[in-house]
Amino acid sequence: MAKMEKCFTDWVQSLKEGDKVAVIGKFGEKEIATIERFTNTMIVTKHSRYWKKDGFQTGADRWSRKHIKELTQDFIDEIHLTKQSRYLTDLFSKTAIKDLGIDKIEKIIMLLERKPHDSANVGQQS
């Protein structure tokens, strides 16, 4: 058995009902699911079932099936960032930008154009 398979098997054996897992779709979509129960061969969440042997979704064709993996803080942060980005895009699409006024528009532009190392200067004006 390969080391990676052994790690996956150990992780699956350590899971219990109520644990959260990372779910990744074939096209990169990400979500978090909670384990509801186990069968001899499957891990069952609210919306799907996954094989214990490899973590892939049962009952789905190989082109669209999802798989599970250990939930990490990086995964949680990535989901949060994606949600926040979608929220901001939605907010901008519903906002009449010209009605904000020139001062607010210039502040938004400054925030969006600043470099990552400029984060210490947020809120300070030169």
Beta strands in 1-72 (DSSP E): 20-24, 30-38, 42-45, 49-51, 67-69
Per-residue model confidence (pLDDT) at position 72: 95
Beta strands in the chain (DSSP E): 20-24, 30-38, 42-45, 49-51, 67-69
Contact 69, 55 (CB under 8 A): yes
Average pLDDT of the chain to the nearest whole number: 87
Given a cut of 50, the residues of the chain with pLDDT beneath it are 125-126
Distance of CA 56 to the CA centre of its chain: 18
pTM for this predicted structure: 0.70
Per-residue model confidence (pLDDT) at position 35: 98
Per-residue model confidence (pLDDT) at position 38: 96
Residue at token pair 């519903």: 94
Per-residue model confidence (pLDDT) at position 126: 42
- CA pair distance 88, 17, nearest whole angstrom: 35
